[in-house]
């Protein structure tokens, strides 16, 4: 699975399939249900840590679901596998605002919806009208409104036993020059803060209310700390990087150390933003 995550970490899956369209995805799920085979779904792998023991059963990837359509003036329907960068560039050409917060944010739309990805400029909950997903329990599709998704800071109520297929987004007209200026500013800000030259999976922990995870981790002296080839980045303490051959166990040891020290010194319990799957 290291081939399919931005951290470049993860043990083997029994089988890995990229569904080329929604019909194929439904067929795979229904076959697995009929055969009693466990299923795990993944998107672009940008916020994902796969444990060293890998994953039993079939891993189903949605990254090939890439339909993106402007269905009405301000309304866009986007598949789960479309990258956040592709989505932003497309709506920018259409002079539609509302997604400027995606500037520099990695990953795919499906994962972004599940975790309500965003920045200080906004998040998916601000523009999402509805989300269509597939239940892994019976192979049926379900559509939820924004309210039913119950988006919260870096999370949602989208069930773990479902896989996102697509979303309908409602945006608004905005001049091309304005969008580009805002996005360029956000990308420049992220470029200054983010580590370079090593594999990563974005922010490790959610920011606690009224504070920043990076500040707390830095304050307990963890910047630059290594476990094997896993490091708490000297550039930003809330980014853990893989210098080449780090194991999931190394990353999880750093996670545990950061949580323990911040809790001991600040009384704050850090909450993991990464999604961890697989066996030890």
Active-site residue set:
154, 203, 273
DSSP 89-144: HHHHHTTEES-GGGTT--SBHHHHHHTT-EETTEEGGGTEEEEEEEETTTS-EEEE
Give the integer Cα–Cα distance in Å for 270 and 89.
Answer: 34
Give the integer Cα–Cα distance in Å for 68 and 21.
Answer: 13
Give the integer Cα–Cα distance in Å for 17 and 11.
Answer: 16
Give the integer Cα–Cα distance in Å for 25 and 40.
Answer: 12
Q: Residue 19: which H helix or E strand, with range?
A: none
Give the integer Cα–Cα distance in Å for 124 and 120.
Answer: 12
C-alpha torsion sign, points 63, 69, 70, 72: negative
C-alpha torsion sign, points 188, 106, 200, 239: positive
Cβ count near 48 (within 10 Å): 24
Of 72, 52, 44, the C-alpha closest to 251 is 52
Q: Answer whether 102's CB lies under 8 Å from 190's CB.
A: no
Phi, psi of 187 (to 5 degrees): -65, -40
Q: Answer whether 78's CB lies under 8 Å from 68's CB.
A: yes
């Amino acid at each position: 699975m290291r081939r399919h995550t931005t951290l470049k970490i993860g043990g083997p899956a029994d089988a890995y399939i990229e569904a080329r369209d929604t019909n194929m995805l439904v067929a795979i799920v229904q076959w697995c249900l009929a055969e009693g085979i466990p299923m795990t779904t993944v998107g672009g792998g940008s916020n994902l840590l796969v444990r060293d023991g890998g994953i039993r059963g079939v891993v189903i990837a949605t990254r090939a679901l890439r339909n993106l359509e402007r269905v009405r003036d301000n309304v866009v329907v986007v598949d789960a596998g479309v990258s956040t960068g592709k989505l932003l560039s497309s709506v920018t050409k259409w002079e539609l605002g509302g997604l400027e917060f995606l500037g520099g944010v990695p990953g795919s739309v499906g994962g972004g919806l599940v975790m309500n990805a965003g920045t200080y400029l906004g998040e998916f909950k601000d523009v999402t009208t509805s989300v269509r997903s597939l239940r892994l329990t019976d192979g049926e599709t379900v559509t939820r409104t924004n309210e039913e998704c119950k988006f919260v800071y870096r999370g949602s109520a989208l069930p773990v036993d479902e896989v996102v297929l697509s979303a309908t987004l409602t945006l608004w007209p905005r001049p091309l020059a304005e969008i580009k200026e805002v996005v360029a500013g956000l990308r420049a800000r992220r470029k200054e803060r983010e580590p370079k030259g090593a594999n990563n999976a974005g922010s490790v922990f959610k920011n606690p209310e009224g504070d920043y995870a990076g500040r707390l981790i830095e304050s307990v002296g963890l910047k630059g700390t290594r476990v094997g080839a896993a490091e708490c980045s000297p550039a930003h303490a809330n980014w853990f990087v893989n210098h080449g051959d780090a194991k999931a166990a190394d990353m999880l040891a750093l996670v545990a150390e950061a949580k323990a020290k911040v809790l001991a010194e600040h009384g704050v319990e850090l909450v993991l933003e990464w999604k961890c799957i697989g066996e030890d």
